[in-house]
């Protein structure tokens, strides 16, 4: 944690010249100004809305408890409020980067994401939005590219 330009930031261990705002997680340079973040590649893909069917498939893997919390398959208790978050390694930035490389349209990307409820999990909202359980960076997407290519073949997409 450092103070730069009157702002409290934490240093990104992966890129020592990049610091992140403690408040919003956005990348800052050594003067405290917002800057390009190599861990968040720029693509034109927005986050797809999950369909009702996809959400139901995700929630089916959890047991709603009498107190309103969820119990996961490994016995972990997840207290609310809740978000449906990405599993480690399947964060939006990785999915969007793979879709960009594979050249999926936004519509095809939406369909792909909703066809993969296994990429998601129920998470405590604060924990999800803190990004603490995310895999750092935007690399290691070969398995996602492979699944997207298979998705295209199965649907006859060129």
Q: What does the pLDDT look like over 86-107, one tens digit per residue?
A: 999 999 999 999 999 999 999 9
The C-alpha atoms of residue 114 and residue 27 are separated, in whole angstroms, by 30
The pLDDT, as a whole number, for residue 32 is 72
| Region 102-123 average pLDDT | 96
Pair 32, 100 in one domain: no
- DSSP-assigned letter for residue 34: B
Q: Which residues face 8 on adjacent strands?
A: 3
The C-alpha atoms of residue 113 and residue 27 are separated, in whole angstroms, by 27
Pair 21, 49 in one domain: no
Pair 23, 62 in one domain: no
Q: Is the pLDDT of residue 3 over 80?
A: no
The pLDDT, as a whole number, for residue 24 is 58
Number of domains in the chain: 2
Please list, in sequence order, all residues whose beta carbon lies within 8 angstroms of the beta carbon of residue 8, skipping any fewer than 6 positions away. Answer: 1, 2, 21, 22, 23
Tokens of 51: 């369909």
Helical ranges in the chain per DSSP H: 52-59, 92-102, 106-114, 125-130, 142-155
The C-alpha atoms of residue 57 and residue 79 are separated, in whole angstroms, by 19
Pair 132, 93 in one domain: yes
Pair 3, 61 in one domain: no
The pLDDT, as a whole number, for residue 33 is 73
Domain range for 15 is 1-36
Tokens 């069917």 correspond to what residue? 53
- Identify which of 8-12, 32-36, 135-139 has the greatest average pLDDT: 135-139
The pLDDT, as a whole number, for residue 13 is 43
Pair 28, 43 in one domain: no
| Region 7-23 average pLDDT | 48
Q: Is the pLDDT of residue 118 over 50?
A: yes
The C-alpha atoms of residue 95 and residue 119 are separated, in whole angstroms, by 10
Q: Please report, rounded to a whole number, the percentage of residues in the chain having pLDDT higher than 90.
A: 63
Pair 134, 83 in one domain: yes
Mean pLDDT over the full length of the chain: 84
The pLDDT, as a whole number, for residue 1 is 43
What is the pTM assigned to this prediction? 0.73
């Amino acid at each position: 944690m450092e103070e730069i330009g009157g702002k409290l930031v934490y240093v990104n261990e992966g890129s020592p010249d990049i610091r992140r705002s403690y408040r919003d997680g956005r990348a800052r340079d050594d003067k405290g100004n917002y800057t390009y973040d190599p861990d968040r590649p720029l693509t034109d893909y927005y986050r797809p809305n999950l369909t009702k069917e996809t959400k139901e498939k995700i929630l089916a893997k959890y047991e709603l408890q009498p107190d309103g919390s969820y119990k996961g398959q490994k016995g972990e208790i997840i207290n609310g409020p809740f978000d449906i978050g990405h599993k480690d390694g399947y964060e939006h930035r990785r999915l969007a980067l793979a879709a960009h490389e594979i050249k999926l349209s936004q519509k095809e990307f939406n369909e792909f994401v909703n066809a993969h409820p296994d990429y998601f999990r129920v998470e405590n909202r604060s924990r999800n939005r803190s990004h603490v359980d995310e895999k750092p960076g935007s690399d290691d997407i070969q398995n996602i590219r492979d699944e997207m290519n298979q998705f295209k073949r199965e649907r006859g997409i060129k």
